Structure 1
Amino acid sequence: MPRTPSPVQGGSGLLRLEVQIAAPDLRPFLGGNALPGVWSFAAEAPGPHVAVVALVHGNEIAGAVVLDRWLRAGLRPVRGRLSLVFANVDAYARFDPADPTASRFLDEDMNRLWDEETLEGGRRSTELRRARVLRPFFDGVDILLDLHSMLWPSDPLMLVGRSARAAELALSLGVPPLVVSDQGHASGKRLIDYAPLSRRAAILVEAGSHWESATIGTMEAAGAALLRASGVVAPEHPVLAPPPAAPAKARLAEVTRTVVARTPAFAFVQAFRGGEVVKRRNTLIALDGEAEIRSPHDDCLLVMPSLRTMPGQTAVRLARFVG
């Protein structure tokens, strides 16, 4: 059984980190057939190149569980190309269920590196080295699904950046039903913001808590929906999670403000859960030192509030539902 690590102290209390899923043994797949950690399969019939990515953050192991299952089951495309990518394998190799937050990355966050200046500059790190290896591969992808999970309590959602094409695709999938259009992070561009991908269709799914089995199920459902919608994999393939009998209606929300912590004293006035809606405009949400953070409009959606935030990091995104 996985060991139960100590709680993490957050700005609004303790969060107990229980690792309820087992990290898969990826050694059979680390060599890849396209690049190290990258498996790519082409069908005879033409179609789009769809890539599903796990482990951009090395401790978000649920995505690795999904790709491991698909590879062991021999999932192959019937048209186009299907690629399954294990991204930050070096950080994943350090994953320890007794200290599960420590292996998010080794040197720097791999999901803040995806702009040309950073990729082509002189800075060096383990994550940049890997990003530079993967970059030419991602240049040839038409549709990308990036599998992520969350530390702090939140309803699952899909992030689509500012791409109308990605938003349309995410809404059509409906799993999970909340789609958020945002500007990304001030601290750097995510993989879905990488210019060649953002001009096509790149979606990031935040599927739930890092180490819960339900998160794996949400990732499988989102991946299956994408593979069916793209036509790359036969819709009846037995490895794909079945579509929900009564899917929830998908909704789009647009971020109106990204709140970045300015002081070490940033704290929410209560332990908000991601997906909560603050009904009234001008409601106090957080304090950043002496500065007050208030809801900018009625029905303000809280997107992934981080209850322990360092200066310069995104603390929460505030969003308004569209339509």
Structure 2
Amino acid sequence: MPEDSILHPALRALIAGNAQGRPGPPGLRLDVRIQAPDLRPFLGGNVLPGVWSFAAAESGPHVAVVALVHGNEIGGALVLDRWLRAGLRPKRGRLSLVFANIDAYARFDPEDPTASRFLDEDLNRLWELDTLEGGRRSLELRRARALRPLFDSVDILLDLHSMLWPSEPLLLAGQAPRAASLALRLGVPPLVVADDGHLSGRRLIDYAPFVARDGAATAVLVEAGSHWEPATVGTMEATGAALLRTTGVVDPADAALWPMAAPGAPRLAAVTRTVTARTSGFAFVRPFRGGDVLPQRNTLIALDGETEVRSPHDNCLMVMPSLRTMPGQTAVRLARFMD
């Protein structure tokens, strides 16, 4: 989507490209073209540090929009910062706006923008019950445990993320059919991927209340585009605005929500294989971009040491390939369109 068509004028005024990036592998962009917002007025929260929750007189669902699960993905912070400054409030139900990993965000440095993803461990790999209730300790686990009671009360959650490697924006719906249904209704961005997460730990959208077969709570995650790009911030706000309008929590005419972007025709793809790097020698045969489609089955994708990784079927969708991967990390997800 063109930058000018997706950025609210007030948000566009916050965008500034002040930092210079460092060279990296092909496709890797480390130049920071957005300015991290000053969150000091909002760090206290009104229910928890960094968490603002507002209830309407009229009953309705509890909707949460979450930013900064990764401390260096600052686009979501820009969106929530603008909504709070604009006085966005629900007309029914409850609206919670969550700055998740505020400790990592406090260390964000545009000269070294990848360093503050987390402090001790990835906050988006901790949402297994055994992990949350176990004896392990870390800064991120302490924060997850503090946020857990709030998330236990949420009916619909949107987690705002961005990407290091080039990719088309997409919504991740995990394995819950109700999450895929919600993502398709939002339609922004139009690509929805049903996936099974990561071997290294459960994401927030995989937390038990959001995936329970007999439950109703739902969570989706938007990967809105490249880190630190103005268009990525606009996509995040477009997705958030679509969620608030779709759920009816906020008045569609609320001036705090910028005009709705025209959604594309939504498409659902289901992951058929998650490729996890096994060796330090994992390498793609070329710099793939997320959203690339391999027309033919058995196309060579990567080498993991001496093991070949090939496309398992025709029209194989590449989901968020990570062009520099360590052993145990997800290298790429391969998906089939469910048209």
TM-score tier (shorter)? over 0.9
Match of 2:22 in 1: 6
Q: Does 1:153 align with 2:169?
A: no
Q: CA offset at residue 14 of structure 1?
A: 6.1
Does the 8 Å contact 1:139/1:197 carry over to 2?
no
Q: CA offset at residue 150 of structure 1?
A: 0.2
Partner Cα separation in structure 2 for residue 207 and residue 98 of structure 1: 22
The normalised TM-score by structure 2 is: 0.93
Q: CA offset at residue 240 of structure 1?
A: 1.1
Q: CA offset at residue 6 of structure 1?
A: 1.4
Match of 1:248 in 2: 264
2:221 to 194, 197, 204: 204
Question: Which structure 2 residues correspond to residues 144-293 of structure 1 after superposition, within 5 A?
Answer: 144-199=157-212, 200-245=217-262, 247-293=263-309
Q: Which 4+ stretches in 1 moved above 2 angstroms?
A: 13-16
Match of 1:60 in 2: 73
Does the 8 Å contact 1:59/1:101 carry over to 2?
yes
Match of 1:303 in 2: 319
Does the 8 Å contact 1:254/1:322 carry over to 2?
yes
Identity of aligned residues (%): 75
Query: What root-mean-square deviation, in Å, do the aligned CA atoms of Structure 1 and Structure 2 show?
Result: 0.9
Q: CA offset at residue 269 of structure 1?
A: 0.5
Q: Does 1:40 align with 2:57?
A: no
Does the 8 Å contact 1:145/1:203 carry over to 2?
yes
| 3-state secondary structure, aligned to 2:302 | strand
Partner Cα separation in structure 1 for residue 169 and residue 327 of structure 2: 25
Q: Does 1:51 align with 2:68?
A: no
Match of 1:18 in 2: 31
Q: CA offset at residue 84 of structure 1?
A: 0.0
Does the 8 Å contact 1:142/1:201 carry over to 2?
yes
Partner Cα separation in structure 1 for residue 241 and residue 124 of structure 2: 24
**Aligned letter for 1:152?**
W
Residues 100-156 of structure 1: per-residue CA shift (max 9 Å, x gap): 000000010000000110001111111001000001110000000000000000000
Does the 8 Å contact 1:141/1:197 carry over to 2?
no
Query: Number of paired residues?
Result: 319
CA distance 1:123–1:107, shift in 2 (3 Å): same
Partner Cα separation in structure 1 for residue 157 and residue 264 of structure 2: 23
Q: Does 1:109 align with 2:122?
A: yes
Match of 1:83 in 2: 96
2:44 to 31, 45, 48: 31
Partner Cα separation in structure 2 for residue 138 and residue 178 of structure 1: 26
Does the 8 Å contact 1:269/1:285 carry over to 2?
yes
Does the 8 Å contact 2:72/2:114 carry over to 1?
yes
Does the 8 Å contact 1:285/1:293 carry over to 2?
yes
Partner Cα separation in structure 2 for residue 285 and residue 99 of structure 1: 30
Does the 8 Å contact 2:29/2:164 carry over to 1?
no
Residues 68-111 of structure 1: per-residue CA shift (max 9 Å, x gap): 00000000000000000000000000000000000000010000
Does the 8 Å contact 2:171/2:221 carry over to 1?
yes
